[in-house]
Structure 1
Amino acid sequence: MSKFTLKHKIPAYVLGFGLLALVGCKNEKESKTVEKEVAKQPNIVFIMSDDHAYQAISAYGHGLNNTPNIDRIANEGAIFNKGFVNNSICAPSRAAILTGKHSFKNGKVDNLQPFNWDQDNFAKSLQKNGYQTALVGKIHLDGLPQGFDYSNVLPGQGQYYSPDFIENGVKKTYPGYITHVTTDIALDWLQNKREKDKPFLLMYHQKAPHRTWMPEEKYFTLLDSVNFVPPANFFDNYEDRPAAASQEMSIFKDMDLVYDLKMLDKDGDIKTKYRGMFQRKYDRMTDEQKVAWDAYYDPIIADFKSQNLEGKALATWKYNRYMHDYLRVIQSVDDGVGQVLDYLKENGLEENTIVVYTSDQGFYLGEHGWFDKRFMYEESFRTPILMKYPKEIKPGTVIDELVQNIDFAPTFLDYAGIDIDESIQGESLRGLVNGEVTELRDALYYTFYEYPAEHKVKRHYGVRTDRYKLIHFYYDINKWELYDLEKDPQEMHNLYDNPEYASVQKDMHEQLERMRTKYGDSDALNEENLNRYLNKKNIKKKH
């Protein structure tokens, strides 16, 4: 048996009965020889998590947690310090990644609008050019995925315990914990389902650390001894930022004690809006899992109820409760990354495989007092990007240039030697990481459309350069915001109409219009997308 089979045993529920037969040693040796000979086009392993804040990857140096396996990608390749998304919400970001186009071009502007799988995506292009392609885990785009020889994906957001998957159109419930199940399915495809004589694309996408941050038993007590100090702007008063003031994503005010913080008391004293929803998630656990869960959480619940916390004390308690579980689910993600990296190394695939780790967007870990994403402010706009490819990327490479999630599609096509269609709006990152290019762009464009909706983050669009950011909030508000990111990295001081920044404001407006013209966005398109959204939600338009 191979090193992989001995070290990383795949559960029978993933293998299926038909794949339990042993393969002869001679055939296995032959397949490994073939794999080493196939080196014309690189393999691609595209790892993506959901809502993984760059602050919660130790390679970025924030000191919150330790992610040794994700860090391996940075240490053996490149880390991007200024990676951003086009639209900080799950499905639109994923659509942009697949197509290499902004939301208003690929049609997936919000979570409600359908995604058109008939349009081109980079997986289709790779598939047409000889790649074997697989999609495992979360995709959050309705319809049967196109461009994949194999798909085993979550319906919607997925569940942390006893998750459902849809394998090539057929729904199945798997026992166990979602992060491990996703990893097992990915490893099973690598080991047993792909054709070893073809280059491959594996999109290995985790649900975690998406809300509700339900950890596995192994990590219940991880970081228990750590008392996290909230960020300096945790108690932000949102002065001259009315859009920020009107949101409903405050840890103190809006984070649900049961749904988010696991205070599911058995006597039902803690009554919250989403208690029933969390009860259904809890009920997916086996009896054994529930016993372990209750043994850990029941004492925390009892202690919380005895304290009668209020005000800042309650806010700080909620922040710590949130941080502990958020970082725990990330630890399981990191374990899975390590398993996949080990497989590539042990099976002679490491040298000819591009590995990328990213998230569909960033996330707030208490900055401005928030959780969630959506805003163009740095913590949700910015996303982690780490990339390794031993043939071209030197270990320890650091990229400080502006890059965006629409750049993944052209990057993968570039490495595969496939022509990049003119309709793709992103840029290949290949020149940046191999040192041939020093700058891709001087500005980034951003849009957000999902309002009115949960968390009440206003519709907005904007532009970011290396130093400045201009944002326009619209629909039932008309507010401009300007930030000097060098002097105010926490974005606490809106400088719009500040006479000292008059020339900067003028330049940023001009830059914004250049971006909108370049990418084909307009107020008319905003109006179309707004009307479509309001009609779908049956909301009367405000004038």
Structure 2
Amino acid sequence: MPIILLLLLIINSACSQNKKKSNDTATTNEKVLQPNIIYIMADDLTTQAISAYGGIYKDIAPTPNIDRIANEGMLFQDVLCTNAICGPSRAAILTGDYSSKNGYYKNESGGKFDETKWTFPQEFQKNGYQTSLFGKWHLGSEPKGFNVYKYHNSAGQQGHYWDPVYNENGVDVKEKGYSTNLSTDFAINWLEKERKQNDPFLMILQYKAPHRPWQPDTKYETLWDDIEMPYPATFNDDYKGRELTAGDTEMTMDYFSRRDMKLKEPEHLKGKEKLAWAFYGAKPGELVQPENMSYEEGRKWRYQTYIKDYLACVKSVDDNIGRVLDYLDKNGLTDNTVIILTSDQGFYLGDHGFFDKRFIYEESLRMPFIVKYPKLIKAGTVNEDIITNIDFAPTLLDIANISTTHQMQGESFKSILKGTTPKDWQEGMYYHYYEFPYWHHVQPHYGIRTKKYTLSHFYYNIDVWELYDLEKDPNQMNNIINDPQYTNVITDLKLELKNLMIKYEDNKSLSDFRMITDSDFGSIVDHEDDETSVQDILTNRKTTNEN
């Protein structure tokens, strides 16, 4: 009997040892198999410029490498920006929180992003990922959570297209060449020579292009000189019923500068005179066009110059994304690497007669978002769920199986990537834009966007509500806020909007909202003291366009 007991103890011990070895091996394998992540963001890239999304430029200016990500992954149709302007969107993506919580509301004189805030790259770094950043940062502060970084550090971190200055791990370095190519060079060099080959990595590659002033690479400068680009269906929008909102901006075809139009600068100019000459056209009454052109001819000439330069910049972005994809293929990294292609918001390519972004309207609200990860995502899939940019951070952490105690306002959509939408997934999103009057004179506004409707309130020195039925009016040409058949719809949307503002901690008074806008420029009007709670406004059944 003692011998039998001894044998049982020996067998049990051996099994325990084998189980421990098995668990250790599984843990090691799990670490090795953690996905790499390459997050690519092009500044001001819009869905209209990506052929995978269709549109009027898809055959003239195709984007085959971006399309490849869509064909081999998932294309999202309804990823929306919570504040459609560069810096605040980047802050929302990094923190997983709205501007009202992360504190970064505006670009112009908006201060610096609070570098003490939690960001998802810091969490990746803490959990053993190698982290790197190349290209545009544009948050005023120094990046945190990166082992290596090299970001644009001139013109207020906007950077330049040609011969740009980069901050390389704390030291400014002037480089020779075209910035889209250079940022990719740095990224591929890090992938090939600097990273540890067996450890997972998070690489953020953020292009300046196709941001203003839309300077193409030399080889693409005259690419479409011999053709006339098509015009968007809403190019001649007359803003009827929206005169105080869409009709009162400085982002129409009348506001391109001499620099935008690539006019030859006089040689003798220096200093302030040089700047004044280059930026002439960006203010009211400064119309840039060749002599002897009619107004309408000049308007079309400005559009043609702009759209060709913009799409040529996108072509270089697409080329360089192809370089990254080729590197992954050649080095056996494709299957275990998550590739994300996105932008900081959408952009107007002559839609509604506009360039730039900022509005809750579809062209600036919708972000391109395409993800490829063979181990998780079925190739060639399309998703139409409402997702916002605050959902990116929790999703990236979820894909990497990284747990965090940090609370974010965004939610993971990993299950959506796998093909299953949670039953309680959001059916509407909250939007708030604060910056005014610079740049482009777009009224601050908040609102809600659902699958079927967009409701918004423009409030700075006007009191205007807008409602669009996206099924009947996808181009948002008809403001139906005063249509009596939508009275109940408005009531329901206002209640949803009220709840979202509470949920995302942005339920302040109009006075508080205006103070956020005025904090950097000073008030441009004398506001009456208005401590009216937005919640009270939303509870009021009557919503009109009365001032």
- The alignment's TM-score, normalised by the length of structure 1, stands at 0.85
Q: For the Cα contact (< 8 Å) 2:81–2:345, is it kept in 1?
A: yes
- 3-state DSSP of counterpart to 1:446: strand
Pick aligned residue for 1:43 from 8, 30, 36: 36
**Residue 399 (structure 2) aligns with:** 415
Pick aligned residue for 1:373 from 357, 360, 363: 357
Q: For the Cα contact (< 8 Å) 1:534–1:541, is it kept in 2?
A: no
| Gap change, CA 1:266 and 1:411, over 3 Å in 2 | same
Range with bigger deviation, 223-232 or 463-472: 223-232
Q: For the Cα contact (< 8 Å) 1:88–1:380, is it kept in 2?
A: yes
Letter in 2 for 1:248: E
Range with bigger deviation, 145-154 or 234-243: 234-243
| Gap change, CA 1:406 and 1:273, over 3 Å in 2 | farther
Q: For the Cα contact (< 8 Å) 1:259–1:274, is it kept in 2?
A: no
**Residue 415 (structure 2) aligns with:** 431
- TM-superposed deviation, 1:226: 2.7
Gaps (5+ residues) in structure 1?
1-34, 280-300
Letter in 1 for 2:259: Y
Q: For the Cα contact (< 8 Å) 2:135–2:207, is it kept in 1?
A: yes
Q: For the Cα contact (< 8 Å) 1:359–1:383, is it kept in 2?
A: yes
Matched, 1:77 2:73: yes
Matched, 1:128 2:126: yes
- Using the aligned pairs only, state the percent identity: 45
- The alignment's TM-score, normalised by the length of structure 2, stands at 0.84
Pick aligned residue for 1:86 from 82, 86, 92: 82
- TM-superposed deviation, 1:343: 0.8
- TM-superposed deviation, 1:143: 1.6
> Take 1:277 and 1:255, find their aligned partners in 2: how far apart are those partners?
10
Pick aligned residue for 1:395 from 370, 379, 401: 379
Residue pairs, 1:47-58, within 5 angstroms: 47-58=40-51
**Residue 24 (structure 1) aligns with:** none
Range with bigger deviation, 456-465 or 111-120: 111-120
Pick aligned residue for 2:461 from 476, 484, 493: 476
| Gap change, CA 1:72 and 1:92, over 3 Å in 2 | same
| Gap change, CA 1:309 and 1:437, over 3 Å in 2 | same
| Gap change, CA 1:422 and 1:505, over 3 Å in 2 | farther
> Take 1:248 and 1:87, find their aligned partners in 2: how far apart are those partners?
19
Letter in 2 for 1:219: Y
- TM-superposed deviation, 1:404: 1.2
- TM-superposed deviation, 1:40: 2.7
- TM-superposed deviation, 1:421: 4.5
> Take 1:498 and 1:268, find their aligned partners in 2: how far apart are those partners?
59
| CA displacement, residues 80-139 of structure 1 (integer Å, 9 cap, x when unaligned) | 011111111110000000001111110001111321111111101111111110011101
Letter in 1 for 2:33: K
**Residue 320 (structure 1) aligns with:** 304
Q: For the Cα contact (< 8 Å) 2:32–2:198, is it kept in 1?
A: no
- TM-superposed deviation, 1:534: 2.0
> Take 1:529 and 1:504, find their aligned partners in 2: how far apart are those partners?
26
- TM-superposed deviation, 1:277: 4.4
- TM-superposed deviation, 1:437: 2.1
- TM-superposed deviation, 1:538: 3.6
> Take 1:328 and 1:431, find their aligned partners in 2: how far apart are those partners?
36
> Take 1:275 and 1:180, find their aligned partners in 2: how far apart are those partners?
30
| CA displacement, residues 254-288 of structure 1 (integer Å, 9 cap, x when unaligned) | 112x121112254899xx99654479xxxxxxxxx
| CA displacement, residues 188-246 of structure 1 (integer Å, 9 cap, x when unaligned) | 11111212222100000000000000011111122223312322221212112111111
Q: For the Cα contact (< 8 Å) 1:397–1:433, is it kept in 2?
A: no
Pick aligned residue for 1:154 from 144, 152, 155: 152
Matched pairs, number = 481
> Take 1:309 and 1:247, find their aligned partners in 2: how far apart are those partners?
24
| Gap change, CA 1:249 and 1:273, over 3 Å in 2 | farther
| CA displacement, residues 345-396 of structure 1 (integer Å, 9 cap, x when unaligned) | 1111111110000000110011110000011111011110000001010110
Letter in 2 for 1:57: I
**Residue 459 (structure 1) aligns with:** 444
**Residue 193 (structure 1) aligns with:** 194
Letter in 2 for 1:188: N
Q: For the Cα contact (< 8 Å) 1:236–1:369, is it kept in 2?
A: yes
| Gap change, CA 1:274 and 1:411, over 3 Å in 2 | same
Pick aligned residue for 2:339 from 349, 355, 372: 355
**Residue 6 (structure 2) aligns with:** none
> Take 2:326 and 2:429, find their aligned partners in 1: how far apart are those partners?
36
**Residue 251 (structure 2) aligns with:** 249
- TM-superposed deviation, 1:542: 2.5
**Residue 333 (structure 1) aligns with:** 317
Letter in 1 for 2:162: Y
| Gap change, CA 1:66 and 1:205, over 3 Å in 2 | same
RMSD between superposed Cα atoms in Å: 2.3
Q: For the Cα contact (< 8 Å) 2:166–2:175, is it kept in 1?
A: yes
**Residue 19 (structure 1) aligns with:** none
| Gap change, CA 1:378 and 1:309, over 3 Å in 2 | same
- TM-superposed deviation, 1:412: 0.6
> Take 1:527 and 1:395, find their aligned partners in 2: how far apart are those partners?
49
**Residue 233 (structure 1) aligns with:** 234
- TM-superposed deviation, 1:519: 1.1
> Take 2:226 and 2:524, find their aligned partners in 1: how far apart are those partners?
50
Gaps (5+ residues) in structure 2?
1-27, 281-287, 528-547
- TM-superposed deviation, 1:314: 1.3
Determine which structure has more spread, i.e. the larger CA radius of gyration: 2
Letter in 1 for 2:74: A
- TM-superposed deviation, 1:411: 0.8
Letter in 1 for 2:260: D
| CA displacement, residues 125-167 of structure 1 (integer Å, 9 cap, x when unaligned) | 1111111100111010112111111111112110011001001
